[in-house]
A and B are shown apart, each in its own frame.
Chain A
Amino acid sequence: EAGVAQSPRYKIIEKRQSVAFWCNPISGHATLYWYQQILGQGPKLLIQFQNNGVVDDSQLPKDRFSAERLKGVDSTLKIQPAKLEDSAVYLCASSLDPSGNIQYFGAGTRLSVL
């Protein structure tokens, strides 16, 4: 079974530029999560989708971050414009169980904002 795929693995941009991350969850997984992991901290949920609907985006900085999952499968997370404090690893996870008890994580995208 293929795991959660994310791309790119690494991205370096300058502040005020835009960037987008892509995630393809495990086939058949209805729930998709985006987490932000700042160096030395645990991951923090940014947004959760159930199929193509948003379940929780309470911690998403909506003035600069956006995410979509139009067909209920893959998803993109965008930052526009980026700030220095957005430097982090962006993790995508998916789960089969609607209660989300077991989440499977991708390898992440490491973003450096200069």
Chain B
Amino acid sequence: GDSVTQMEGPVTLSEEAFLTINCTYTATGYPSLFWYVQYPGEGLQLLLKATKADDKGSNKGFEATYRKETTSFHLEKGSVQVSDSAVYFCALSDRIAGGTSYGKLTFGQGTILTVHP
């Protein structure tokens, strides 16, 4: 079945440092890939997404590129801020070839990011 594996955390960085959170996936169909973020006390929010191979999703300075050959969707940011401290989840939504997706999201286990001033 579908699965998502994220790098284990927690990740602790200083402000303005470079961030990478690794994510790899296993899927039987043609998945869409997502990064969701969960700030303390809040619900999950979509950060960015990519729907096909070589697509790059970007938002708020974060980027991730859909790499079909390595089945990866690593999250990067060039300069993190204290306000980026949160839990980051990689997820996929599989699609049946030629059909529509039921939309079920399969999540990784999450990576806790803490950014210090």
Contacts and interface: CB of A to CB of B under 8 A. Distances in A.
Interface of A: 3-4, 31, 33, 35, 40-45, 48, 55-56, 91, 93, 95, 97-108
Contact of A45 (B41, B51, B104, B110): B104
Interface string B40-74: 01111110010100000000000000000000000
B4 A42 contact: yes
A45 B92 CA distance: 12
A40 B109 CA distance: 7
A55 B104 CA distance: 10
Given A43-B105, A98-B100, A107 B43 contact: yes
User: Which of the four size classes fits the interface of chain B?
Assistant: 20 to 34
B103 A95 contact: yes
A41 B100 contact: no
* Chain A binding surface SS class: loop
A4 B43 contact: yes
Interface in B83-112: 89, 91, 93, 95, 100-110
Nearest to A100: B103
Contacts, number: 71
B24 interface: no
B101 A42 contact: no
A42 B101 CA distance: 20
Contacts of B104: 33, 45, 48, 56, 100
A99 B100 contact: yes
Given A101-B32, A101-B93, A102-B49, A45 B105 contact: yes
A101 B43 contact: no
A43 B49 contact: no
A105 B107 CA distance: 14
Nearest to A103: B105
